[in-house]
Amino acid sequence: MSNAGGSLVPPDRVHAGIAGIGGQKNAKMSAAGLTSLTRCGVLVLRSPAGLAVRYAQTAAAPAAQPRIKKFQVYRWDPDTPGDKPRMQTYEVDLNACGPMVLDALIKIKNEMDSTLTFRRSCREGICGSCAMNINGGNTLACLDKIDTNLNKPTKIYPLPHMYVVKDLVPDMSNFYAQYKSIEPYLKKKDESREGKEQYLQSVEDRQKLDGLYECILCACCSTSCPSYWWNADKYLGPAVLMQAYRWMIDSRDDFTEERLSKLQDPFSLYRCHTIMNCTRTCPKGLNPGKAIAEIKKMMATYKERKTATV
């Protein structure tokens, strides 16, 4: 109750706070002073009394038992010769650490082992840098709360089936190259109006993009897909396919047919067997599996049109 700074507090709450410390003399006096003040409804800060109350309260808080949680983290440093991948265990006091796994990793790096390497940026789940495999599931470390059960260690691995650059840092170059290949930008047949004014879109057409544009390209879904594990070179993966769908159904984009024809081979799209690990693991709550199903439906009608014209 750190409201000794003069906020309106119901008198019984003030009593409870002061009584809890066991009645030190100056605290009782300030309690009387505060209750009379709050009854009057006057927001007057009487600093000596207020400070005395605050000191009394903080001094009386009992020293909590340290809650030690074990973290088993995958470590590999290819720059040290002869190093092999291994698991290293760190112990963190949860009382001195933020609630998320990223807080624990930063604490480990700051205080225990500064060689621990991982990507991070926004700490709020919007950049997608800290994607890693925590306790078997791919999530963002900054959004995953530490499991407070002290009996089980938290296991942290890099994203599965990705080449590792160091410790928890995966090599994302293949993923980015696949994203580049679908041409994730607006393409128009008639470029003469470009830059002059906004391309308008109805409210219904804009609602079609909801659930697709929020993708932060963290690669959690693609690296959770077994099909992507076995065919990462040719299968595009749920993240990239969802973005391909986002551009296909954008009413402002004119190249839908060309985008569909680009996926017309046995690997780019059709390695998806609706395993649905992608939807399960998405840290933003998006549904790549559904987007891929919609692409497959569009591909069916596109194929009919193509065979009709031929």
Partner 1 sequence: MSHHSKLQKQVLALYRQLLRAGQRKPGFTPRIRDEFRENAQIKRTDVMHIEYLYRRGQRQLEQLKDVNTKQLGSFSKPKDSI
Contacts of 137 (CB under 8 A, 6+ apart): 224, 281
Question: Which one among 10, 20, 48, 78 touches partner 1, defined by CB under 8 A?
Answer: 78
- Whether residue 112 contacts residue 97, with contact meaning beta carbons closer than 8 Å, is answered with no
> Interacting stretch for partner 1, rule CB under 8 A, among 79-87, 241-249, 257-265, 282-290?
79-87
* Residue 22 binds to partner 1 (criterion: CB under 8 A): no
Per the document, the length of the chain is 310
**CB 122, min distance to partner 1, A:** 25
Please identify which residue in 43, 163, 199, 297 interacts with partner 1, judged by CB under 8 A. Answer: 163
Does residue number 41 form part of the binding site for partner 1 (CB under 8 A)? no
Part of the chain binding partner 1 (CB under 8 A), chosen from 77-85, 131-139, 230-238, 275-283: 77-85
User: Per CB under 8 A, does 5 bind partner 1?
Assistant: no
CB of 202 to partner 1, least distance (A): 40
The verdict on 173 binding partner 1 (CB under 8 A) reads yes
> 124, 233, 252: which is closest to 181 by C-alpha?
233
Least distance to partner 1, CB of residue 176, Å: 11
Look at residue 271 and give its three-state secondary structure. coil
| Interface residue with partner 1, options 25, 84, 189, 196 (CB under 8 A) | 84
Its sign, for the CA torsion 114, 115, 116, 121, is positive
Q: Please pick, from the candidates 22, 41, 81, 195, the single residue that binds partner 1 as defined by CB under 8 A.
A: 81
Q: Is 82 in the site for partner 1 (CB under 8 A)?
A: yes
Q: What is the DSSP string of 81-143?
A: TT---EEEEEEEEGGGS-SBHHHHHHHIIIII-TT-----S-SSSSS-TTEEEETTEEEETTT
**In whole angstroms, what is the distance from residue 135 CA to residue 124 CA?**
20
Integer Cα distance of 113 and 107 in angstroms: 9
The SS3 call for residue 228 is helix
To partner 1, the closest distance from the beta carbon of 215 in angstroms equals 24
Q: How far is the CB of 287 from partner 1 (least distance, A)?
A: 33
Q: Choose between 7 and 115: whose C-beta lies nearer to partner 1.
A: 115
Binding site for partner 1 (CB under 8 A): 78, 81-82, 84, 163, 165, 171, 173
